C-alpha cells in the first residue's frame, strides 16, 4: 500500500467536498446545511447528549449509517461536527481510486467518534474529515472570491455560519 501525504489527503477531501456539494447541494446557496446533505445521502441524523468529551459520532448499521451530534455544542460547532462526520461517510462510500487501498465499508456497530480533545488529530482519516468539513462549509471558489473582495474573517464567518477561527484556519491552509 502506497503511503499518502497530508497534502494528498487534503486534496482528496476537497475533491470529495466539491462532488458532495454538486450532488447533494445543487442550489449552491449559503450557508450550506451539512445535516440536510447527510439526510439526502441516506444518513440518519440525531442530536443527543454525548457527554463532555464527544462532538459527534458516525456508526455503521445493517443497512444504514447513523450520525449523532452532541446537542450541547454551539450551533456553528455542531455544523462543523456534522460536516466532519459526513466527511467520514463520504470517504467510505466514494469510488475515488486514490482511497481504494485505505477505506472499506463502515462495519456494523463501528465507526468514528469525534473527541473534543486533540487525540487522533494527525490520523489520516481525521485530516480528511476536517478538510472535507472546511471545504464543504466554506467552498474554495467562494472563499477566494470573498477574500479577493476584501471581506473580513468576521464577514466571511457570518456568511458561512462558521467560527472566525475556522475561517482563519481555512484561509491559512489555502494560503489566502
Q: What is the pLDDT along the chain (176 residues), one digit of tens a residue?
A: 467 888 998 999 999 999 999 999 999 999 999 999 999 999 999 998 877 777 887 887 777 888 999 898 889 889 999 999 999 899 877 767 777 666 666 655 555 655 555 555 567 888 899 999 999 999 999 999 999 999 999 999 999 999 999 999 999 999 99
Strands (E), the chain: 43-48, 54-60, 65-70, 111-115
pTM of the model: 0.87
In a domain, 143, yes or no: yes
Domain count, the chain: 2
Task: Tell whether 30 is covered by a domain.
Answer: yes
Please indicate, yes or no, if residue 99 is contained in any of the structural domains.
Answer: yes
In a domain, 1, yes or no: no
* Residue 124 sits in the same domain as residue 159: no
CA 3 to each of CA 8, 9, 44, 102: distance values in angstroms, whole numbers, following the listed order: 10, 10, 33, 9
- Residues 70 and 10 placed together within one structural domain of the fold: yes
**Could you list the residue range(s) of the whole structural domain that residue 167 is in?**
139-176
Distances (CA, A) of 18 to 11, 13, 39, 61, 137: 11, 9, 17, 26, 10
CB 133 within 8 Å of CB 160: no
The distance of Cα 126 from the centroid of its chain, to the nearest Å, equals 10
CA 121 – CA 108 distance, rounded (Å):
24
Record the cell numbers describing residue 168, joined without a space.
482563519
Residue 170 lies in a domain: yes
**Same domain as 19, residue 80:** yes
Cα Rg of the chain, angstroms: 15
Pair 51, 95 in one domain: yes
125 and 149 together in one domain: no
Q: Answer whether residue 85 is part of any domain.
A: yes
Residues in the chain: 176
Q: Is the peptide bond before 159 cis (omega within 30 degrees of 0)?
A: no
Asked whether 50 and 25 are in contact (CB, 8 A), the reply is: no
Q: What is the pLDDT of residues 50-92, one digit of tens each?
A: 777 778 878 877 778 889 998 988 898 899 999 999 998 998 7
Amino acid at each position: 500500500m502506497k503511503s499518502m501525504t497530508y497534502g494528498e489527503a487534503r486534496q482528496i477531501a476537497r475533491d470529495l467536498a466539491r462532488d458532495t456539494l454538486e450532488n447533494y447541494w445543487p442550489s449552491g446557496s449559503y450557508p450550506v446545511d451539512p445535516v440536510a446533505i447527510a439526510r439526502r445521502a441516506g444518513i440518519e441524523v440525531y442530536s443527543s447528549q454525548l457527554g463532555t468529551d464527544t462532538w459527534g459520532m458516525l456508526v455503521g448499521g445493517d443497512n444504514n449509517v447513523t450520525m449523532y451530534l452532541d446537542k450541547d455544542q454551539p450551533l456553528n460547532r455542531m455544523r462543523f461536527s456534522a460536516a466532519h462526520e459526513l466527511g467520514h461517510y463520504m470517504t467510505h462510500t466514494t469510488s475515488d481510486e486514490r482511497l481504494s487501498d485505505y477505506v472499506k465499508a463502515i462495519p456494523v456497530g463501528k465507526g468514528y467518534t469525534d473527541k473534543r480533545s486533540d487525540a487522533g488529530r494527525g490520523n489520516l482519516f481525521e485530516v480528511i474529515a476536517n478538510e472535507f468539513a472546511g471545504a464543504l462549509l466554506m467552498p474554495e471558489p467562494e472563499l477566494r472570491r470573498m477574500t479577493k473582495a476584501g471581506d473580513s474573517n468576521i464577514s466571511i464567518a457570518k456568511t458561512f455560519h462558521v467560527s472566525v477561527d475556522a475561517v482563519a484556519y481555512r484561509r491559512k491552509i489555502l494560503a489566502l
